[in-house]
Structure 1
Amino acid sequence: MFTERDVQFYLAELALALDHLHSLGIVYRDLKPENILLDTDGHIALTDFGLSKESVPTQDSKTFSFCGTVEYMSPEVVSRKGHSHVADWWSFGVLAFEMITGHLPFHGPNRKETMNMILKAKLAMPTYPSLEAQSLLRMLFKRNPANRLGAGPDGFRNIQSHSFFESIDWDKLYKKQIEPPFIPPIHSDFAHYFDKEFTCKTPTDSPGIPPSADAHDSFQGFSYIAPELINARQSDATYSSHVERRLRSIIGVKQTPFSDEYELKEALGHGKTSTCHRCIHRQTREEYAVKVIKDPSINDPSNEIELLFRYNQLTHIIRIRDAFYNSPTVYIVTELMRGGELFDKIRQEKSLSERESAKIMFVIIKTIEQLHRNSIVHRDLQPRNIMYVDTNRQPSSLRIVDLGFAKQQRAENGLLMTPCFTKEYAAPEVLSRKKYDESCDIWSLGILLYTLLAGNTPFAFDRNDSHEIILARTANKVAFTGPTWERVTDNAKILVNAMLDVDPKKRPTALELCKHSWFANMESLPNMKLSNIQDYNLVRHNLDATFNAINTNASKNLKLGPIGDSNLFKRRNERSAHQQQTEKVK
């Protein structure tokens, strides 16, 4: 599902396209997601004009053809009473509703019932869209074409002036000077968008000279295929069909065997639900990393894959190369992090200067600002999720990895409830199970900045600490004591204090951090090394000891209550009532 900010951009570009067609006397008549493409820069392009009608210059001119995709047809098309270009604005509303809510406004069990709903059913408007979005939808879903938004000589100007598009600069949009929310990841052999009608055809074979009987001996041991790939389980009985459907629906996820394109090599690291390997592309011989997830039902990777494809153009987000779903195993192929973790650099150099710490943090914060600008929160920022793509370990080669906990917010003020994080980097309001937003990432960045400057963490944790103890410690103000902090500038201390403020509303945003004077003057910061880390293993232990999700700790004290008190039970009841109301024909 899109954020309203995304919907606003795409609908505005689509409105420009429709208005241009209408000005030429063309009624489009087949507006639906399949007929809207993205160019290499992320701007929309309408396609498939097979059902379009020319020579309909005004609203009074009508055409009577019954055509289009039924769910997107306007009432006047369904009733065959004649329609003009205003019918396109009804379809525009259907598309807007689908993008904002994730489902169609009128959709019955069959074609006839769907048409009856278009003509008679009351629109079931969800409560979570903004008031501006609800207003736009209600004005587009007028069954009388003359009353519909977009009708009349000033129809398009009325759409432009609607409050939903208040922040759109229409002149810049027309000149394509507004950056799209999504830029498609494209590389030379990218073939994900080819129609399966063509790619599934059996290629014509021209037999060559038959090989000799012993020809296969020449290739004995030519290529190694890991047994785990050959013997991968094909049964789908161990994981959720919902996860399977999501994985199969993601554009870009291949369902051809991973071993056809890549050679699996040695393991680079192990996680609870996945293993990272080095792999080699069979055709180009280039090296990559591949995250192998044996059972995606334990930790659904579809959200991470979607985000990686969507934000593949961001410089300092790990770049995805391919994704495979070989039931039940998922393979996520990314660039290889040859420089290791950020903490490996700290271990090697023992300490960093304030200037170098500022340069590292600026790259990370700038990247997080780009994610926040697109309503994405990372939710698991820690040194092991910040790596170097090459061995020189310069700030320019930094990459933020592991978007497994990242979340696309539903609305511009969308707050998240799922408590998934690492304890050491978890903000107090998360530990308290309160709603939280981008400010949690700022908290984690504050912990990281403190660690880079001081060589230790601001809150020392024991392996058996509960989240209540951690919460009590994080509620205290950070102390800057010791000889190391005497060599750190006051501006840096002020910044750390602000980022680690217990009140999330008082923390600076990522954009405000990018403009902070400490970063603006980082070239003039002291370049002398701060105090060495005396016990690297102790510092690493403080960072790694509580990497498990806090749910494991909290679940011990859970008490069962009546099922009627469950939020999930209430939500499903509301959803069931909503579906019944939608299907009711009045």
Structure 2
Amino acid sequence: VGSYSICKRCINKVTGMEYAVKIINKAKKDPTEEVEILLRYGQHPNIITLKDVYDDGRSVFLVTELMKGGELLDKILRQKFFSEREASAVLYTITKTVEYLHVNGVVHRDLKPSNILYVDESGNAESIRICDFGFAKQLRAENGLLMTPCYTANFVAPEVLKKQGYDAACDIWSLGVLLYTMLTGYFTPFANGPDDTPEEILARIGSGKFSLTGGYWNSVSAEAKDLVSKMLHVDPHRRLTAAQVLRHPWVMHRDQLPKYTLNRQDAPHLVKGAMAATYSALNRNVPPVLEPVGCSTLAQRRGMKKITSTAL
């Protein structure tokens, strides 16, 4: 799961029922926020259900339903036939769940494919679960912004990289990356294989530039491309919200989308290889570069607003 926790399968000795248990090292991570969020919102049909919590003093054990269907992206990449209609149905289910969280003031902040799983082998969109709320936060600041950078490379929004304040728009950006991958089979718009370095990936993310033309994109509809571009907009204020994604024609009229198979990259090992290479490089202990608060883009923008208002 991460540097502060591990996840295992467990069995109730009385009932014989199988569950998953996330074991969190309390010395490395305070699990209070994660437990609170799961207790409050875990009854949603597409959010992993928390069954029980145990604390032995050193670790906290979160017992949840067992995800027997595996990762969403693994299942999609294994499918020989995958259409825009299926991609839209998947995106609708996930975005509807994210909208529910956002309405309740919760941001997930780590919506990478390994945290979106199937509870069973059916492959139905209804069996999708959003999991691992270890980085999730309940918005408490008056301005609604989160100021603690926390991200997974490839799925980190540009404004997080630039140390700006960020909000629910980060989750939408991550879903945009997921949609891009579903449509073309690439890992992300910014990593094309296992040999890409984290520095290269992060530089591309920071620029906000990506291509939706040529190659596998020739078989993708203009409506789908339009949605991808709006979900991946570099400016969080111009990026679609969850509600706007749900109202986009490509999602609203998903039952009318073509059923023909998308022409996607048939190399799932490249997708998984890119992920492994990125994580391996990111796990190096690189000290952060600290700058004065006044140097941040957000502080400079606020300073410009003050000057403008004074001039008026």
Normalising by the smaller structure, the TM-score range is 0.7 to 0.9
1:351, CA displacement in angstroms? 5.3
Q: Quick check: 472-481 or 377-386, which moved more?
A: 472-481
State the AA in 2 paired with 1:433: K
Q: Is the 8 A contact 2:107 2:171 kept in 1?
A: yes
Instruction: Tell me how far apart the structure 1 counterparts of residues 87 and 155 of structure 2 sit (CA, whole Å).
Output: 18
1:375 aligns to 2:108 (yes or no): no
Q: Distance in 1 between matches of 2:143 and 2:281?
A: 25
Aligned-residue offset at 1:444: 0.4
1:353 aligns with one of 83, 87, 101 = 83
1:13-45 Cα distance to aligned partner (Å, 9 max, x none) = xxxxxxxxxxxxxxxxxxxxxxxxxxxxxxxxx
Compute the RMSD of aligned alpha carbons: 2.3
Give the letter aligned to residue 259 of structure 2. N
Once the two structures are TM-superposed, the CA of residue 547 in structure 1 deviates from its matched residue by 3.7
- 1:464 and 2:194 correspond: no
Q: Is there any run of 5+ residues in structure 2 with no aligned partner, and where? A: 295-312
Cα pair 1:424 1:547 within 8 Å, conserved: no
Q: 5+ residue gaps in structure 1?
A: 1-269, 566-586
Map 1:295-310 → 2, pairs under 5 A: 295-310=25-40
What CA distance in whole angstroms lies between the structure 1 residues aligned with 2:205 and 2:144? 28
1:466 partner letter = E
Relative to structure 1, the CA distance from residue 551 to residue 302 in structure 2 (aligned partners, 3 Å threshold; closer, same or farther) is: farther
SS in 2 for 1:504: coil
User: Cα deviations across residues 444-468 of structure 1 (Å, max 9, x unaligned)?
Assistant: 010000000011021126553338x
Alpha-carbon distance in structure 2 between the residues aligned to 1:278 and 1:475? 41
- How far residue 333 of structure 1 moved from its aligned partner, in angstroms, is 0.3
SS where residue 415 of structure 1 aligns? coil
Q: What residue is the counterpart of 1:538 in the other structure?
A: 270
Match of 1:526 among 233, 252, 258: 258
Taking a change above 3 Å as real, the CA distance of residues 419 and 463 of structure 1, as seen in their structure-2 partners, is farther
Amino acid at match of 2:275: L
1:333-344 alignment to 2 at 5 Å? Answer: 333-344=63-74
In the aligned structure 2, how far is the partner of 1:379 from the partner of 1:351?
A: 31
Question: Residues of 1 paired with 2:153 and 2:271: CA distance?
Answer: 15
Per-residue CA deviations over 1:62-89 (Å, capped at 9, x if unaligned) read xxxxxxxxxxxxxxxxxxxxxxxxxxxx
Please give the alpha-carbon distance, in whole angstroms, between the structure 1 residues aligned to 2:246 and 2:240: 10
Separation of aligned partners in 2, 1:514 and 1:535: 30
CA contact (8 A) 1:342 1:387 kept: yes
Name the CA distance, whole Å, in 2 between partners of 1:506 and 1:367: 21
State the Cα deviation string for residues 406-437 of structure 1 (Å, max 9, x = none): 00000463111111111100011100111000
Equivalent residue for 1:283? 14
Partner of 1:364: 94
Secondary structure of the 1:505 match is coil
The answer as to 2:191 corresponding to 1:477 is: no
Partner secondary structure for residue 144 of structure 2: coil
* Cα gap change, 1:476 to 1:544, in 2 (>3 Å): same
1:335 CA drift (Å): 0.3
Q: Which secondary structure state, in structure 1, belongs to the residue aligned with residue 237 of structure 2?
A: helix
Q: CA, structure 1 residues 549+318, in 2 after alignment: closer, same or farther (shift >3 Å)? A: farther
Q: Give the 5 Å matches for 1:141-540.
A: 271-293=2-24, 295-350=25-80, 352-411=82-141, 413-456=143-186, 457-460=188-191, 462=195, 464-466=197-199, 470-540=202-272
Which string of whole-angstrom CA distances, capped at 9 and with x for unpartnered residues, describes residues 213-235 of structure 1? xxxxxxxxxxxxxxxxxxxxxxx
* Larger RCO (alpha carbons 8 Å, 6+ apart): 2
The residue identity in structure 2 corresponding to 1:427 is A
Superimposed CA distance per residue, residues 501-522 of structure 1 (whole angstroms, 9 cap, x where no aligned partner):
1000001110111121111110
The answer (yes or no) to whether the contact 1:388–1:398 under 8 Å persists in 2 is yes
Secondary structure at 1:423 match in 2: coil
Structure number with larger C-alpha Rg: 1
Q: In the alignment, is the contact (CA less than 8 A) between 2:219 and 2:263 conserved in 1?
A: no
Q: Does the CA-based 8 Å contact 1:350-1:533 persist in structure 2? A: no
Tell me if the contact between 1:355 and 1:523 (Cα under 8 Å) persists in the aligned partners.
Answer: yes
User: Share of identical aligned residues, percent?
Assistant: 47
**TM-score relative to the length of structure 2:** 0.86
Structure 1 residues 404 and 514: CA distance shift in structure 2, 3 A: same
Is 1:351–1:455's contact at 8 Å kept on the other side of the alignment?
Answer: no
- 1:551 Cα shift? 9.3
Cα contact 2:154–2:205 (8 A) shared by 1 = no
Partner of 2:122: helix, strand, or coil? coil
Matched-pair contact (CA < 8 Å) for 2:198–2:281: no
Give, in whole Å, the separation in 1 of the partners of 2:281 and 2:143: 25
CA–CA distance in 2 between the matches of 1:526 and 1:346?
A: 17
Query: Contact conserved, 1:339 with 1:390, CA < 8 A, in 2?
Result: yes
Q: Any idea what SS the aligned residue of 1:436 has?
A: coil
Q: CA separation in 2, counterparts of 1:470 and 1:558?
A: 18
| Distance (Å, rounded) in 2 between the aligned partners of 1:372 and 1:453 | 25
In structure 1, how many angstroms separate the alpha carbons of the residues matched to 2:96 and 2:231? 15
Aligned twin of 2:310: none
Deviation string 1:73-127 (CA, Å, 9 cap, x unpaired) is: xxxxxxxxxxxxxxxxxxxxxxxxxxxxxxxxxxxxxxxxxxxxxxxxxxxxxxx
Paired residue type of 1:534? D
Could you say what secondary structure the match of 1:420 adopts? coil
Deviation at 1:558, TM superposition (A): 4.8
Query: For 1:323, what is the secondary structure of its paired residue?
Result: strand
Asked if 1 retains the 8 angstrom alpha-carbon contact of 2:158 and 2:208, the reply is: no
Structure 1 residue 484: deviation in Å? 2.4
- Going from structure 1 to structure 2, the CA distance change for 1:367 and 1:501 (only over 3 Å counts) comes to same
SS at match of 2:198: coil
